[in-house]
A and B are shown apart, each in its own frame.
Chain A
């Protein structure tokens, strides 16, 4: 537009020049005038050149644009004139925009991410929706075969499943890796060529084909030192030998976060009937709707013909990423919604802040606005100008906000990767066009709130009356009741946000540093798993039984091998580690009617442990007896409880010989009666401190968390553990090897991240709020300079004057503090179900004092300035 404007200007100049030259020449020719005189007359005949230019410019129809550019110039000049307000307002907006955009970008990443593959948006997922249970159901290899034959609008229908395997190189290096057993056609869906060798072929998936594997760039570098001759070598995947046939390029971790690909076949240990993630590529020119229609037709036919298996199954086309993260899943949806509400609240808080600042500024320019209005500027024109000012500020803020959002997103993803150990390949911190557009929209919205609302308020009815007053020496704009409420709300929110963050932080730290009752740093823990090998032709339960038996045998060998190591000082296991979350049981006590307060009193934590558990961690049974081998003979009928159990559940009565059981839940029978045979001290159970232990063997435990006593440096042992385990059994996987005192804390990583995030956000919000409260209070006081002058001139005592001035701001802050205190109390009781500790109360009090101090400072500084001014001069002050 500006370019077009320039071009039009230069054409106009050229045309005028030619006219004047021709006229000059004519005058010289016909009247024999000297060139200078001829030119003078030509110019006179033409009339005012600039006037005509202006007429043409206006005629060109971009008048509003020049008005706008004038507004922009004015806005920039004003922003530069009030640097502090600009800085605070800009930072506040940038912060708000960053928070809003960050939340939006994260949401987009979950709901509609960009898939970084060739025409990635045409890769779609296919799943069943169970019409009566209302939940997704995974299709099987049979479904894939059928769809591949019948679907014309989805090509290369493929499936994958994922499991862990020990990857053991010929030189004995061992790592646990996530393996994708995947249809060879999936490589065609991804459209990525291998770096070395080949990808999987359809022939590799035939039942008697030898096992082959394609490895990722990462593994190629780490386990094979980027050896160019790796193709053709063998590698062990658990108990199987596989031949490496190809290496994929860097960054390829399709279908989710994988580095190893084997064909989807019986040979790779995948049952034909087990559930798979299914996907394909939309055929050329096929729309999603058309593909869904085709799928539905096949589904309807199948539901009629195979009633026993497919009656309730409705095939459903979904975005590819929804296979792994379904944003409609109630849990994810809930989390997203809560997160969004938090950020919207934050944005509102920030907007209110900036609006206050802008109102203060707009009010201070009231005389200017009134004069302009008197000179004929319409209200719309004035509001537009203030809006443009806010927009310029918002424009600056958007740049900073986008950078901030990107930083926040990167940090969030890094946190997820650290805690979960992996990130799907489409998780990227780069902001999409949609996100940038959203940021622009947010900036417009912010500018509208921040610019238009105060502008309407200031330019509203009474502007001229106030102009008359202010030129006559009266008041000018006053902050009315609405703004008192806004300031009070601001104070309350400012009190609540950091308090909530602080308390949550405390809560997390307490959880992380929970006393487990023994020297946990002297132990190392790891989760033990075995490859789930297929038993050909056997039903699933047989495979599970075989797995349990094998686990029992393997554990015995492992125990012997580890115990022989000079650094190992005892070995045991439990299904839950101390300081981590345990299953929560509601229990019944035999011969005891459930009392009214049963709900809270009879909730306990539960764990299954090895017979030697208490001996190995050095916490012998304090009363009664330990578990013995006889307790495992049949289904366990015994339990050992901790001291909290005795205290809270039994009220200190003797527990030995009493029988307890898990209470029946909604549609469930109660558990078997368990006789309490012993008592131990509390060993860091949560969520309930009261807990009971049941005996377990490696065959019966649902999860095996290995606990090893360590002599000397734990680090030197952990680095050897995996290799030692692989020697015993290649199919044995050791997950999450770490010192036992960190195992508890690792469960809190997410909470810790959220606590940190809340702290940072609250700190910024706090700073902004304090600045806004300061500016607005200081501003309103400085508007009363005249009044102060008059009071002093009339002989008022200075202290009395200050008292009068302080009354209103202090009341505002007082209201806010009271409301904030109520909200903090509600947060405590509602969210954390605790009462604040003494130190927390003290900190909140300190915090309130700081806020009052800021308010006082904001009152006193301008008030002192006003008092120092000579009364006669104060009277001349505008406003």
Chain B
């Protein structure tokens, strides 16, 4: 059995991962993708390009903002930053995720 989660679950958690990543520092798209892979120890194998629609969605709902800046190696890059609303959403999501995971875990134990 593969340890990979189903795709839908991944999509739902991708937003969470991005917010979590950005809660530490502002990053550009590639950086985020590296960090997500790192954090998930390579378990979340996905197209790196799928990140961008998610970033666009989050920016539209006001959870993150973006601005063009110069990167460490002197290149134009778009940096994403978490907003105050994003932080609140992250806390809430993390809490509800934990609760959900705990419930699921409890259910799985009993059966």
Closest Cβ–Cβ distance, residue B90 to chain A (whole Å): 21
Question: How many angstroms between the C-alpha atoms of A45 and B68 in the bound complex?
Answer: 24
Interchain CB contact under 8 A, B30 and A23: yes
B5 within 8 A of A: no
Closest Cβ–Cβ distance, residue A10 to chain B (whole Å): 12
Among B28, B52, B75, B78, residue most surrounded by chain A Cβ atoms (within 10 Å): B52
Question: How many angstroms between the C-alpha atoms of A853 and B71 in the bound complex?
Answer: 79
Interchain CB contact under 8 A, A47 and B47: yes
| Residue in B49, B68, B71, B75 whose beta carbon sits within 8 Å of that of A52 in the complex | B49
Interchain CB contact under 8 A, A49 and B49: yes
Using A45-B47, A45-B48 as known contacts, say yes or no to A18 and B28 having CB atoms under 8 A apart: yes
B68: nearest chain-A partner, CB-CB: A11
| Residue in A16, A18, A55 whose beta carbon sits within 8 Å of that of B75 in the complex | A18
Number of chain B interface residues as a range:
20 to 34
A48 within 8 A of B: yes
Interchain CB contact under 8 A, A56 and B52: yes
A51 within 8 A of B: yes
Among A51, A55, A60, residue most surrounded by chain B Cβ atoms (within 10 Å): A55
Interchain CB contact under 8 A, A18 and B47: no
| Residue in A15, A22, A26 whose beta carbon sits within 8 Å of that of B52 in the complex | A15
| Residue in B28, B49, B71 whose beta carbon sits within 8 Å of that of A46 in the complex | B49
Interchain CB contact under 8 A, A15 and B56: no
Among B28, B34, B53, residue most surrounded by chain A Cβ atoms (within 10 Å): B53
B2 within 8 A of A: no
Interchain CB contact under 8 A, B48 and A59: no
Interchain CB contact under 8 A, A55 and B53: yes
For A46, list chain B residues within 8 Å (CB). 47-49
For B28, list chain A residues within 8 Å (CB). 15, 18-19
For B10, list chain A residues within 8 Å (CB). none
Interchain CB contact under 8 A, B50 and A52: yes
A11: nearest chain-B partner, CB-CB: B78
Number of residues of chain A lying within 8 A (CB) of chain B: 21
Closest Cβ–Cβ distance, residue B94 to chain A (whole Å): 25
A51: nearest chain-B partner, CB-CB: B49
| Residue in B48, B57, B68, B76 whose beta carbon sits within 8 Å of that of A47 in the complex | B48
For A49, list chain B residues within 8 Å (CB). 49
Closest Cβ–Cβ distance, residue B74 to chain A (whole Å): 12
Interface of chain A, helix or strand or loop or mixed?
Answer: helix
- Which chain B residues numbered 46 to 100 have a C-beta less than 8 Å away from chain A? 47-50, 52-53, 56-57, 60, 68, 71, 75-78
- Which chain A residues numbered 372 to 387 have a C-beta less than 8 Å away from chain B? none
Closest Cβ–Cβ distance, residue B7 to chain A (whole Å): 13
Using A23-B30, A56-B56 as known contacts, say yes or no to A18 and B76 having CB atoms under 8 A apart: yes
For B49, list chain A residues within 8 Å (CB). 16, 19, 46-49, 51-52
Interchain CB contact under 8 A, A14 and B48: no
For B75, list chain A residues within 8 Å (CB). 18
Closest Cβ–Cβ distance, residue B56 to chain A (whole Å): 5
Question: How many angstroms between the C-alpha atoms of A12 and B66 in the bound complex?
Answer: 13
B33 within 8 A of A: yes
Closest Cβ–Cβ distance, residue A431 to chain B (whole Å): 43
Question: How many angstroms between the C-alpha atoms of A56 and B33 in the bound complex?
Answer: 17
Interchain CB contact under 8 A, B53 and A56: yes
| Residue in A12, A18, A23 whose beta carbon sits within 8 Å of that of B77 in the complex | A18
Closest Cβ–Cβ distance, residue A60 to chain B (whole Å): 8
Closest Cβ–Cβ distance, residue B47 to chain A (whole Å): 3
Interchain CB contact under 8 A, A19 and B30: yes
Using A52-B53, A55-B53 as known contacts, say yes or no to A18 and B48 having CB atoms under 8 A apart: no
- Which chain A residues numbered 1 to 49 have a C-beta less than 8 Å away from chain B? 11-12, 14-16, 18-19, 22-23, 26, 45-49
Interchain CB contact under 8 A, A18 and B30: yes
Closest Cβ–Cβ distance, residue A558 to chain B (whole Å): 91
Question: How many angstroms between the C-alpha atoms of A12 and B28 in the bound complex?
Answer: 13
Interchain CB contact under 8 A, A59 and B56: yes
Question: How many angstroms between the C-alpha atoms of A52 and B52 in the bound complex?
Answer: 7
B28: nearest chain-A partner, CB-CB: A18
For A56, list chain B residues within 8 Å (CB). 52-53, 56
A55: nearest chain-B partner, CB-CB: B53
Interchain CB contact under 8 A, A19 and B50: no
For A19, list chain B residues within 8 Å (CB). 28-30, 33, 48-49
Using A23-B30, A23-B48, A45-B48 as known contacts, say yes or no to A59 and B53 having CB atoms under 8 A apart: yes
For B68, list chain A residues within 8 Å (CB). 11
For B56, list chain A residues within 8 Å (CB). 56, 59-60
- Which chain B residues numbered 15 to 34 have a C-beta less than 8 Å away from chain A? 28-30, 33-34
Question: How many angstroms between the C-alpha atoms of A795 and B61 in the bound complex?
Answer: 73
Using A55-B53, A59-B56 as known contacts, say yes or no to A14 and B30 having CB atoms under 8 A apart: no
Closest Cβ–Cβ distance, residue B76 to chain A (whole Å): 7
For A14, list chain B residues within 8 Å (CB). 76, 78
Closest Cβ–Cβ distance, residue A42 to chain B (whole Å): 8
Among A26, A45, A49, residue most surrounded by chain B Cβ atoms (within 10 Å): A45
Closest Cβ–Cβ distance, residue A239 to chain B (whole Å): 84
Among B33, B49, B52, B57, residue most surrounded by chain A Cβ atoms (within 10 Å): B49
For A52, list chain B residues within 8 Å (CB). 47, 49-50, 52-53
Question: Closest 8 CB pairs between A and B?
Answer: A47-B47, A52-B49, A22-B30, A47-B49, A55-B53, A46-B49, A19-B30, A59-B56
Can you pick out 22 interface pairs between chain A and chain B where the beta carbons lie within 8 Å of each other? A11-B78, A12-B52, A14-B78, A16-B49, A18-B28, A18-B29, A18-B30, A18-B76, A18-B77, A19-B29, A19-B30, A19-B33, A26-B34, A45-B48, A47-B48, A47-B50, A48-B47, A52-B47, A52-B50, A52-B52, A55-B52, A59-B56
Known interface pairs A15-B77, A26-B34, A59-B57; 12 further A-B residue pairs with C-beta atoms within 8 A, sorted by A's residue number? A14-B78, A15-B28, A15-B78, A18-B30, A18-B77, A19-B30, A45-B48, A47-B47, A52-B47, A52-B52, A56-B56, A59-B60
Query: Chain A interface (Cβ within 8 Å of chain B)?
Result: 11-12, 14-16, 18-19, 22-23, 26, 45-49, 51-52, 55-56, 59-60
